[in-house]
Amino acid sequence: MDAKALYDQTTFECSKLITQRYSTSFTLGIKTLDSKFHMPIYAIYGFVRYADEIVDTFHDKDKKQLLHTFKKDTYKSIKDKISLNPVLHAFQLVVNSYQIDLDLIEAFLTSMEMDLDFKTYNDSRYHEYIYGSAEVVGLMCLKVFCEGDQNQYLFLKDAACKLGSAFQKVNFLRDIKSDYEERGRVYFPGVDFNTFDKSAKSLIEEDIQRDFDAALQGIRLLPSGAKLGVKVAYLYYLKLFKKIKGLPPETITQQRIRIPNARKISLLISTYCGTKLGFN
């Protein structure tokens, strides 16, 4: 391996480590993808994870300046095709290799900026935020999965957006307590955390179910090397969603709902076996 290849590989390994440290479920999902997709998807996750950390973690720093610098460095790395920031270097390799549209990256970074400025979202801001924070991440991954087949990408684009939307809305429900108490955010339009009731919860859940139903159709049509990993993520979030649906509003406003790691592994095994046997 030459020096440049070693550097590239090392930066991908950095993003892999970030994924493993921050997300058990995402790591499990990636492991079930075809091996050729592992490092590109780790790189995408590393990029979005670190941008999110700027917004949610570094409270004693100037977040706007940090995000501005991160954004500037992102575009510079893509243009120059190199960065000494390992996360950005791995990400630019994927962006340039799979021709990920810059408007997807811009939409994502805009959603991160929104978290710095907005506390309560109206309908238009809500949909803009979900698109930028979740749907475009799914589209970046879809670019990788389609490996340059633009017709396939366009055909699956809407379903990928619905999947990202479902995941994000489930996250909003799961984290409704911490988002409000730690960050002062309420993502669902018209929802008052202090009066969150069964009626409001049911309307949100109906919307999420529609997203899940639309997304499943696309998952079935994904390239074979990507289908299993995406299905595992889908089933994990569906399981989490069903758990949340079965709880009263006062429970999810008092605690964060989780799926134990043992259950995540069980989902992985059952999905893998079902796919191999032709049941899924």
pLDDT for 104-121, tens place per residue? Answer: 999 999 999 998 886 667
Inter-CA distances, 170 with 46, 233, 258, Å: 21, 12, 11
Residue 152 neighbours by CB under 8 Å, 6+ apart: 146, 223
- Report residues of the chain scoring pLDDT below 50: 277-279
- Give the pLDDT of residue 273: 57
pLDDT for 199-209, tens place per residue? Answer: 999 999 999 99
Does residue 227 contact residue 219 with C-beta atoms inside 8 Å? yes
- Give the pLDDT of residue 277: 42
pLDDT for 140-176, tens place per residue? Answer: 999 999 999 999 999 999 999 999 999 999 999 998 9
Q: Which candidate, 150, 160, 68, 48, places its Cα nearest to that of 108? A: 48
- Give the pLDDT of residue 266: 65
Global pTM reads 0.90
Q: Which residue has the tokens 């993520």?
A: 233
User: DSSP character for 132?
Assistant: I
- Give the pLDDT of residue 255: 82
- Give the pLDDT of residue 51: 95
CATH 1.10.600.10 fits 3-276, yes or no: yes
CA 194 – CA 240 distance, rounded (Å): 23
Tokens of 121: 């979202």
CA 104 – CA 58 distance, rounded (Å): 25
Tokens of 154: 């366009």
Does residue 163 contact residue 218 with C-beta atoms inside 8 Å? yes
